[in-house]
Structures are given as C-alpha cells and as structure tokens.
Amino acid sequence: MSNQYQFVSRWRVEATCGEVADVLGDPLSLARWWPSVYLRVEELRLPDARGLGRRVRLRTRGWLPYTLQWELEVVESCYPRGLTIVASGDFDGRGVWTFEQDGPFVNVTYDWRLRAEKPLLRNLSFLLRPLFEANHRWAMAQGEQSLALELARRGASSEAARARVPPPPGPVTYADVALLAGAAIVGAGLAYLFLRSRRRSG
C-alpha cells in the first residue's frame, strides 16, 4: 500500500550502550532533549518492574507544517542492547532500537515500519511520498545531533562543563518552512531554465 513506510536509521554516538539505552528508553524526556521533533509528551500508563507497558501520548512535527498525534508503548526491552515500541494514532507501526558497542562509540539502528493513518499522509502518500520521507530523515538527523548533546550534558564532569554544552536544536518555525519552500521553488525554477536552455542549444 502507498501509505506504508519502512525507514532504517543509523546513528553513531560516543557513549556506552547503557547510557544510550537510558536516554532512548525514557520517552518522558523526549520533549526536553529532542525538542525539534517532540513537542509534547504525556504519560498514560506507568511501566511495570521490567520497564514494559509504559504508554505515552505524543505530539510531534518535522520541518513540514503539520503535526502528528500518536501514542507509543514500550513492548520489549533488552537492556542495554535495545528496545521495541509500537505506535498508534496518526500512524500505526512498530519500531526497533538496537544498540551495539564499538569501542568508545555506540552504533544505533532504528528500524521503523509504519502505516500512515493521518488523512493528509494517507491520502497524499502516492503523490508526496518523497517529501514525507525527507521529513522523516530530517527528524532523525535532528535526533542524532540532539542525542549526542544530551549524552555530553549527562556525562559532563562539572556544572560548568554541563553549562558549556549547547542546547539541542528547537522546532522549525513556519518562517523557516516558508524559507525552505521558497528556496526549493527557486531551485526548481533555475533547474528548469537550465534544462530548457540546454535543449535549445542542442
């Protein structure tokens, strides 16, 4: 179906698997350290003793001017090697985080398989799929940058060192979106004129 997507994202951060698992395994902190994407997090159900069953309601956004309302539940945990979530709402799906230690670094893999249910995404996927996919890639790139900053903040040796860690990037404003759209239109126009001139000269 045209509204089904699969994304595999790979990050590399300087940390231990346990440190990465502590950050990514705590959905309540997402809006603080990944604010460019996670606008609001609300806890709906507490986890059990194994860390499973926690359910949160999320409001998220990429660089495109629409928001997503969905719920996340942690259904599997292999601490500190990874965890699995299921999502429902504006999209339904399953995401698997895997953490692999590689010397002083952790290789992070996120396998995200989903079906878009928000009417905008479901009805226009056949036409705007590349744009929606680019929006996801942007969001995940923001996540890698924000995770590195959060790990640096948590690992700082003093309050002074922690204060020197830059804040994570914030959400894109509609002015930014308009600027990006304008740049895309100008770029497309220049490409069209270039191709047209080549056809004429040929």
Please report the pLDDT score of residue 49 as a whole number.
Answer: 86
Are 72 and 60 within 8 A, CB to CB? no
**CA atoms of 41 and 88, how far apart (whole Å):** 14
More confident residue, 176 or 134: 134
Rounded Cα gap, residues 56 and 36, in angstroms: 18
Two structure tokens written together for 157? 């040796």
State residue 50's pLDDT score. Answer: 85
Of all residues in the chain, the percent with pLDDT exceeding 70 is 85
Instruction: Check whether 119 has a pLDDT greater than 60.
Output: yes
Angle between helices 119-155 and 17-24 (to 10 degrees): 130
> Of 30, 6, 3, which Cα lies nearest the Cα of 127?
3
Two tokens at 142? Answer: 């923001």
On average, the pLDDT of the chain sits at 90
| Cα dihedral 155/74/98/112 (nearest 10) | -120
- Helix ranges restricted to H, 65-173: 119-155, 159-163
